[in-house]
Amino acid sequence: MKSKNLSEKILRSVKYKGFKYIELPSVIEANHIVQRSGENFRKFMFSFTDINGKELCLRPDLTIASCLRYLENNLKGKEKIFYSGQAYRKVQRKKDKIIRNQIGFEILGSSNEKKDDREIINTSLKILQNIKYSSGIFTIGNVEIFNLVISKLDIPKRWKLRLYRHFWREKYFNDLLKRLETNSDVDPTIVEIDKKRYLKMIKEDLSKIVANRSINEILKRFDSKIKDPRKTNSGKNISKIIKDFLKIKCPINEAAEVLNNFFKKNKINLAIDQRYFPISENKNSNIKVFFSASFGRELEYYTGIVFKIDIKLKSQKINIINGGRYDRLLSDLGSKKQISAVGAAINLNFK
């Protein structure tokens, strides 16, 4: 009964902030999830095949179900929505729950991203007023800032793309940094062989197919490698800059100063204003708010701000709210143009 009352209070808080309630389907096409999250995610899904041979699954994620609704209904412009329900995922640990009770709220299709980020965070803080907790930690990261730092580093474009793409895969990302440090991807002998191949192939028929690619495509890649080599002595320094950046953690009201000092020290042509952050000071004495440059790992679809709120409730530490910006998600699900999206979800699986 207490859980039901809490859920109703939270729903009223979100509605009061101007969000419109929607219903989401419990069953969705499995390929939408696999295309977005990869085949590896299939092992977590409860899936089945209908009489027409189409693979369906119980929704493992409410955010994806919400974004599919936006696309399938051909909606346009800004929409502030909220929903409640259950997500279903197979678990690998006995203590994890198969059924996840959640309340989510989102702003889709808006052009004022910073305003929307602030609104999602303020709504999250408003929701906390319904819960009797003793203390909390609010952690904010920003994938966009990480990408900006990488864009300014003196490494080839292909390396920047690798680091952007694999930021969320922490173990593989660290392996990439080791390769960057040791220059294991740079072999002068191979580079010279590539140059000779390049000069030979440029005289051939560019439309000829070799290993499923045209010679023209192969030459473009060779051209990029030859014109954009990495200095063999710079990898270690670049790797250290990235590692030092990811170690940054500070109170939110010091974030801009700490970041700008880091940029200046490492001669990175960037500057961040404190107003860049959707929350710039801690107005709640029960919650400590931190910026963490490394937060956002393992959360693949986030593109900008990302946050979580952990609270202490009856001596238990509970991850109560997670959220962030995911501007590429609707494109990945089939939209022909990029649609802005930011939202958060409240975990109701606690006593």
Instruction: Give the tens place of pLDDT for each residue, 239-272.
Output: 999 999 999 999 999 999 999 999 999 999 999 9
Partner residues linked to 20 by β-bridges: 81
| In the block, residue with structure tokens 């729903």 | 11
| In the block, residue with structure tokens 């197919």 | 209
CA dist., res. 171 & res. 66, Å (int): 30
The percent of residues in the chain predicted with pLDDT above 90, rounded, is 42
Instruction: Please tell me the predicted confidence (pLDDT) of residue 270.
Output: 95
Instruction: Please tell me the predicted confidence (pLDDT) of residue 1.
Output: 42
The answer to whether 290 and 258 have CB atoms below 8 angstroms apart is no
CA dist., res. 67 & res. 331, Å (int): 10
Instruction: Please tell me the predicted confidence (pLDDT) of residue 79.
Output: 94
Average pLDDT in the 6-26 region? 91
CA dist., res. 46 & res. 58, Å (int): 6
Q: Is the pLDDT of residue 117 over 90?
A: yes
The answer to whether 303 and 328 have CB atoms below 8 angstroms apart is yes
Instruction: Please tell me the predicted confidence (pLDDT) of residue 282.
Output: 65
Sequence spans of domains, the chain: 2-24+59-149+241-347, 170-240
pLDDT in tens, 201-224: 777 777 777 666 777 777 776 666
SS3 assignment, position 43: helix
Which CATH code of 3.40.50.300, 1.10.10.10, 3.30.930.10, 3.40.50.2300 fits the domain covering 2-24+59-149+241-347? 3.30.930.10
Distances (CA, A) of 146 to 18, 90, 121, 239, 272: 32, 32, 20, 14, 12
CA dist., res. 340 & res. 220, Å (int): 33
Instruction: Please tell me the predicted confidence (pLDDT) of residue 96.
Output: 77
Burial of 298 (0-12, 13-18, 19+ CB in 10 A): exposed
Average pLDDT in the 21-43 region? 80
Instruction: Please tell me the predicted confidence (pLDDT) of residue 109.
Output: 93
The answer to whether 124 and 323 have CB atoms below 8 angstroms apart is yes
pLDDT in tens, 307-343: 999 999 888 888 899 999 999 888 888 888 889 999 9
Instruction: Please tell me the predicted confidence (pLDDT) of residue 223.
Output: 66
Please compute, for residue 238, the number of CA atoms within 13 A of its CA located in the half-sphere on the CB side. 26
pLDDT in tens, 65-95: 999 899 988 888 899 999 999 999 888 777 7
Instruction: Please tell me the predicted confidence (pLDDT) of residue 279.
Output: 85
